[in-house]
């Protein structure tokens, strides 16, 4: 699976996106940053970091409970904690993967796009209803205006929290 195919897919959907790395494209949205990872030629991954951040023990526990609920009751996405660079605050990452050892047809790629984004966005919408104190971006549209700026804003925040497919398999 190539980055170029994902670039074509995102362009065909009129999405604002940028390059996070050579093998990863980033799509900023109001409540999350989505990463399309093609670094493993056998797996296509879409991973999203929700903008909600646990700032204290109570919020941390609430986030852990929501992650456990997601992973035990939903067929997807897979959710996990993301320690932020200061190691005292935590975010949440949700991901979906598809095995692409023999490549993906356009129909398979379109299906993965629709299914994975629906699962992740649905989970994030549920989080925002369940954890309204985490939602601090209601009128903040800064991350959706320019993919290049959003990419630069996302890098330091995500540096310590991004998991690669290889690390996740260990």
**What does the buried/exposed string (b/e) look like for 10-39 if buried means 16 or more CB atoms within 10 Å of the residue's CB?**
beeeeeebbebeebbbbbbbebbbbbbbbe
List the chain residues with pLDDT less than 50.
Answer: 142-145, 147-170
pTM for the predicted model, two decimal places: 0.82
DSSP 8-state assignment for residue 161: T
* Interatomic CA distance for residues 5 and 26, integer angstroms: 14
What's the order of all strands across the beta sheet hosting 43-54? 18-21, 24-28, 32-37, 43-54, 90-99, 78-83
Q: Show the tokens assigned to 26.
A: 């980033």
* Interatomic CA distance for residues 34 and 103, integer angstroms: 22
H or E element: which one contains 153?
Answer: helix 147-158
How many domains, in total, are found in the chain?
1
Instruction: Give the dihedral of Cα atoms 74, 94, 147, 37; nearest 10 deg.
Output: -100
Q: What is the CATH number of the domain that holds 76?
A: 3.30.1460.10
Query: What tens digit of pLDDT does each residue of 114-156 get?
Result: 999 999 999 999 999 999 999 998 755 544 445 444 444 444 3
Q: Tell me which residue range forms the domain holding 88.
A: 3-169
């Amino acid at each position: 699976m190539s980055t170029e195919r994902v670039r074509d897919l995102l362009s065909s959907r009129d999405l604002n996106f940028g390059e996070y790395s050579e093998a990863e494209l980033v799509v900023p949205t109001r409540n999350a940053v989505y990463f399309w990872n093609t670094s493993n030629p056998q797996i296509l991954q879409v991973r999203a970091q929700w903008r909600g951040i646990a700032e204290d023990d109570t919020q941390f526990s609430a986030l852990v409970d929501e992650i456990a609920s997601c992973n035990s009751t939903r067929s997807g996405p897979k959710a996990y904690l993301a320690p932020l660079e200061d190691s005292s605050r935590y975010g949440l990452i949700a991901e979906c993967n598809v095995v692409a050892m023999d490549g993906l047809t356009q129909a398979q790629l379109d299906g993965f796009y629709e299914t994975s984004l629906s699962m992740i966005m649905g989970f994030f919408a549920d989080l925002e209803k369940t954890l309204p104190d985490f939602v601090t971006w209601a009128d903040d549209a800064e991350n959706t205006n320019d993919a290049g700026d959003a990419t630069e804003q996302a890098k330091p925040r995500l540096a310590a929290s991004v998991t690669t497919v290889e690390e996740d398999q260990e």
